[in-house]
Amino acid sequence: MSILHIASFRWKPEVAEIDIARLTDALNEMRAGIPEIRSYVVGPNLHLRAGGADYGVAAILDDGAGLDTYLDHVDHKAVYEKYLGWMIAERSAVQLPISAGAFDA
């Protein structure tokens, strides 16, 4: 069973658009170095509906061990230390099971 990891963030008031762009670039670069990540989508909320977080990360991994590898990876920790740690006002995360074919049309 694969796992969908979703994290959402609300930013502190001092976070600027350039900070968000740099974070997005860093997360996408980080993703390339972690083979346990099967699918990865990151970015600012489109705000198509009222409310919600400012930013989201969605990662699909094969299993719990892959999730642990991703979250504990030195590159993930470096992105957190350089960007996320000072940017986050609120964070929320959830891990959901994904069955085979869950995203087939």
Band (pLDDT 50/70/90 cuts) for residue 101 is low
Residues 80-93 pLDDT 10s = 999 999 999 999 99
pTM: 0.90
Q: Of 95, 81, 105, 93, which Cα lies nearest the Cα of 30? A: 81
pLDDT digits (tens, 9 = 90+) for 23-74: 999 999 999 999 999 999 999 999 999 999 999 999 999 999 999 999 999 9
What's the topology of domain 2-98? Alpha-Beta Plaits (3.30.70)
Q: Confidence band (pLDDT; 50, 70, 90) for 102?
A: low
